[in-house]
Structure 1
Amino acid sequence: MSAIHLKDLNIFYGDTQVVHDVTLDVAAGESFALVGESGSGKSTILKAIMGLAPDWTGAIEVDGKPRSHGPDRAFSRQCQMVFQDPYGSLHPRKTIDATLAEPLLIHGLKNRDARVVELLGEVGLDARFRFRFPHQLSGGQRQRVAIARALALEPRFLLLDEPTSALDVSIQAEILNLLKRLRKERGLTYLMVTHNLPVVAFMCDRLAVMRHGRIEEIASAEALKTGALATPYARELYRLSNPEETAEEQP
């Protein structure tokens, strides 16, 4: 049984169809990437899984259970999402303590103070960050808080929407290493959206290449590392992401 199963998924924004007949399976414990240029429907798929893009047809199953077309409180215990912009995803007037305690409070979980400190420690922040506000943190620190919030309910699945693209290059590697460690320690399943193929090669086992809302091909990370991709579009993405190959073509 797949951890995440999509079958003939079509997603609409009003009269506009943005995702077409997407079928894929993500295995338990796998890290799977959706890649492609902006507007290819990658993030929309994550939103549909989370119930944030409710106008869809086809099938979405997580852990063998069909998803509804809207937010689901019970589902949030199993699956959480980390958004691209860590500043935009955190309430500017809430302390980090309040942000991390909120999901615990909503779901009636006990020992919230201890759990907040533990969550901060898991993402490499000490307890002195508890009563700060998002504007008092760096971009990397804010994204660590966003990851901690996603982990608060101990989900088994994380949806990662460009989790490092809004960060300085020097900080991106720290967040990617953190995500890789957490996946190993917690046995998490990742479905990640990115346009950065080196990130995919570092983080993921497989990838689906998307274009105009459709899957062009599904490949292994090993195929990505060697450039052994099947479709012209995927090979062009690989070429553009490889500075050495691109430089060789310059006159």
Structure 2
Amino acid sequence: MTALSLKDLDIFYGDTQITYNVSLDIAEGESFALVGESGSGKSTVLKAIAGLAPQWTGKISVLGKARGHGVDRGFSRVCQMVFQDPYGSLHPRKTVDATLGEALTIHGIGDRSARVEEVMASVGLDRKFRFRFPHQLSGGQRQRVAIARALMLKPKILLLDEPTSALDVSVQAEILNLLKRLRREQNLTFLMVTHNLPVVSFLCDRLAVMRQGRIVEVAGIDELKRSELKEPYSRELMQISAAHAT
């Protein structure tokens, strides 16, 4: 089954058009990356899918069901988003327990305590962190909380917006390994935004290259690893990424 389908997606902020005719089909269980320079529209695509950028035309389908504009409680049971900044995405005055339990309360799901502890364990957070506040956690621990929050409703799809870019390099590897394990264990579908091509090589099956709001190339991960991307802009991104890695 197709997990996510985008057809001729044009997204706007007011009178400004951000994306043009974005079309993608992402299979259930696939890990797919949107890559491109800042301002290319890739994060805006995630926001439109999540209901955070409701001004769009075209079609968004999630697990075969058309997605409406705006916030949809039913949609949130199958698709959740992990944001880039673990410092900004968690409420500073809510404990880990309150943050994780909030979605269960909103959706009327019981067995709260057991569910919170189960998800904390799945992301590698010791139960001793349950009643701590974000300022008492490291950056990596905060991002584990953010991932745990996204998993509370047992979604099928995670939207990942630069999930490691705000973290130290050593912590980045831990979070990437965690995401890879969670995808395998829970048969999750990932749509990830990143500018880091080594991250794409490690975590993803395919990628789409975006430039100025348009998809210019879709390729398999083997083509990326063999440096066989076809579009000049895609090859330029590979060169920039390689230069940053050295």
TM interval, shorter chain, is over 0.9
Unmatched 5+ residue regions in structure 1? none
- Which whole-Å CA distance do the structure 2 matches of 1:114 and 1:29 have between them? 27
Number of equivalent positions: 246
- Aligned mates of 1:51, 1:124 — CA distance in 2: 29
1:84-129 deviation line (CA, Å, top 9, x unaligned): 0011110000000000011011111111011111111111011100
- CA separation in 2, counterparts of 1:37 and 1:74? 33
Counterpart in the other structure of 1:125: 125
The residue that corresponds to 1:102 in the other structure is 102
Q: Deviation string for 1:66-85 (max 9, x for gaps)?
A: 11110000110000000000
Partner of 1:42: 42
Aligned partner of residue 3 in structure 1, secondary structure: strand
RMSD: 1.1
Q: What amino acid is the match of 2:190?
A: Y
SS in structure 2 opposite 1:210? strand
SS of residue matched to 2:20: strand
1:168-201 residue CA offsets vs partner (Å, 9 max, x unmatched): 0110000000000000000000000000000000
Question: Equivalent residue of 1:215, what SS?
Answer: strand
Q: Which runs of 5+ in 2 are unaligned?
A: none
**1:238 has 2:238 as partner:** yes
CA distance in 1, matches of 2:243, 2:23: 32
2:119 and 2:100 mapped to 1: Cα distance? Answer: 8
For residue 23 of structure 2, give the secondary structure of its aligned residue in structure 1: strand
TM alignment of 1:40-189, pairs within 5 A: 40-189=40-189
**d(CA) in 2 for partners of 1:24, 1:96:** 35
Q: List per-residue Cα deviations over 1:220-251 (Å, max 9, x = no partner).
A: 1110011101100000101111139x98xxxx
Aligned-partner residue type, residue 88 of structure 2: G
- TM-superposition CA deviations, 1:39-90 (whole Å, max 9, x none): 0000000000011100000000000011111000011000000000011110
Q: In structure 2, what is the Cα distance between the partners aligned to 1:93 and 1:211? A: 39
5 Å-filtered alignment, 1:186-201, equals: 186-201=186-201
Following superposition, which runs of at least 4 residues in structure 1 exceed 2 angstroms of deviation?
Answer: none
Equivalent position amino acid for 1:132 in 2: R
SS in structure 2 opposite 1:19? coil
SS of aligned partner of 2:2: coil
Structure 1 residue 147: Cα displacement: 0.3
CA distance, structure 2, for counterparts of residue 18 and residue 11 of structure 1: 5
Q: CA deviation at 1:219?
A: 0.4
Identity, % of aligned positions: 72
- 1:217 equivalent to 2:221? Answer no
1:208 Cα deviation (Å)?
0.2
Letter in 1 for 2:10: N
* Distance in structure 1 (CA, Å) of the matches to 2:236 and 2:10: 26
TM-score norm. by structure 1 comes to 0.96
Equivalent position amino acid for 2:176 in 1: L
CA distance in 2, matches of 1:113, 1:126: 14
The alignment's TM-score, normalised by the length of structure 2, stands at: 0.98
Letter of the 1:56 partner, please give it: W
Measured in 1, the distance between the counterparts of 2:218 and 2:140 equals 31
Amino acid at match of 2:101: A
